[in-house]
Structure 1
């Protein structure tokens, strides 16, 4: 049997809250640090005109502190911190980060996954959408102080990119790219 006995807040920021949790775990008293965070959405975007996946490149301070570079290649993504369905948040993120205006009826849910299970256990819902250049209405780049660059991965380079250890790709991005190869490549007639 598991029972939480006490939670202390150690620190609170704009997006994260660090907690110290005391709990009984099958008769043993335990303590763990937990970082509370919002769940998120991510979107794998395939541009049919360019026969390429659209990813985003951005600076991530925690990665910089580990590798001295800090730039990651990720799916278009955003926090679920608004009172609206995740699919609506996904639509907004595609526009804000990549500049494409998509219809929610064309956004397909792939799955959801848990990340950072030892520290924050954030859930990310992964979506897929196809775009063409007629849907591009802005350069994207994010909002406020986000500094997001869109990156095209040509269809015939996707598999290699997944295993390119010189690129910092998130696990969700790698999973979605493999899903795309398995579920879409033959159907699209590309690659």
Structure 2
């Protein structure tokens, strides 16, 4: 996963996922501007394997996390990967995916669970947790979280994503997860923390 080389940084090129804009507005009599992006909405799933009592997550390399970890003075057109190894950009996340099809959110979540984690679940196994704003400072996109219990019998592939995706499936016990979120620095997005705390508050007695 971290066998990455020839990392270069360029100005934004053509993108099918990101559309940058500048908003102009007047607030309390003051003229203001705000740069923002429009991106796809998304789904995320807290997956709990009840056969072995483990939570199922994914690891993947996130270029934005990698770039943000590098000090400003070293964010040059070509990144020194010996000084800043790609592994610093690998995050632990919930199974998730963008809403880019005209199907229900549950159907998208079901597809993501199969593609990323290898579980083929009945769609009625998905319990909606809730929807919330993601990236409030830049995109304001909507993410919808679900909860799903799976068994080993539902596992039909190793997962890992589709096409050129490189995703590692990670299983953690509840104690391991508690220890992970108790760290001073957690290399996971806020939705991960929300999902885990929801799970601990609502599913663990």
Structure with the higher strand share, 1 or 2: 1
Using the TM superposition, give the Cα deviation of residue 166 of structure 1 relative to its aligned residue in structure 2, in angstroms: 5.0
1:176 aligns with 2:195: yes
Partners of 1:157 and 1:84 lie apart in 2 by 35
Q: Structure 2 vs 1, CA of residues 110 and 58 (structure 1 numbering), >3 Å: closer, same or farther? A: same
| Residue equivalent to 2:76 | none
What is the CA deviation profile of residues 23-62 of structure 1, one whole-angstrom value per residue up to 9, with x for unaligned ones? 2334332211111101100000000112110000000001
Which of residues 13, 16, 39 is equivalent to 1:14? Answer: 16
Which of residues 52, 65, 68 is equivalent to 2:67? Answer: 65
| Residue equivalent to 2:73 | none
Unmatched runs of 5 consecutive residues or more in structure 1: 1-9, 187-191
Which of residues 33, 39, 43 is equivalent to 1:31? Answer: 33
What is the CA deviation profile of residues 37-89 of structure 1, one whole-angstrom value per residue up to 9, with x for unaligned ones? 01100000000112110000000001011224100000000001111111110
Using the TM superposition, give the Cα deviation of residue 167 of structure 1 relative to its aligned residue in structure 2, in angstroms: 4.2
What is the CA deviation profile of residues 8-32 of structure 1, one whole-angstrom value per residue up to 9, with x for unaligned ones? xx97512111111222334332211
Which of residues 110, 120, 130 is equivalent to 1:101? Answer: 120
| Residue equivalent to 1:7 | none
| Residue equivalent to 2:48 | 46
Residues 84-95 of structure 1: pairs in structure 2 closer than 5 A: 84-95=103-114
Runs of 4+ in 1 over 6 A off after TM superposition: none
SS in structure 1 of the partner of residue 21 of structure 2? strand
| Residue equivalent to 2:134 | 115
Instruction: Let me know the Cα RMSD of the aligned residues.
Output: 1.5
SS in structure 2 of the partner of residue 179 of structure 1? helix
Partners of 2:142 and 2:166 lie apart in 1 by 24
Partners of 1:59 and 1:32 lie apart in 2 by 29
Partners of 1:167 and 1:57 lie apart in 2 by 13
TM-score, normalisation: structure 1 = 0.88
Partners of 1:11 and 1:113 lie apart in 2 by 29
Which of residues 139, 148, 152 is equivalent to 1:133? Answer: 152
Unmatched runs of 5 consecutive residues or more in structure 2: 1-11, 70-83
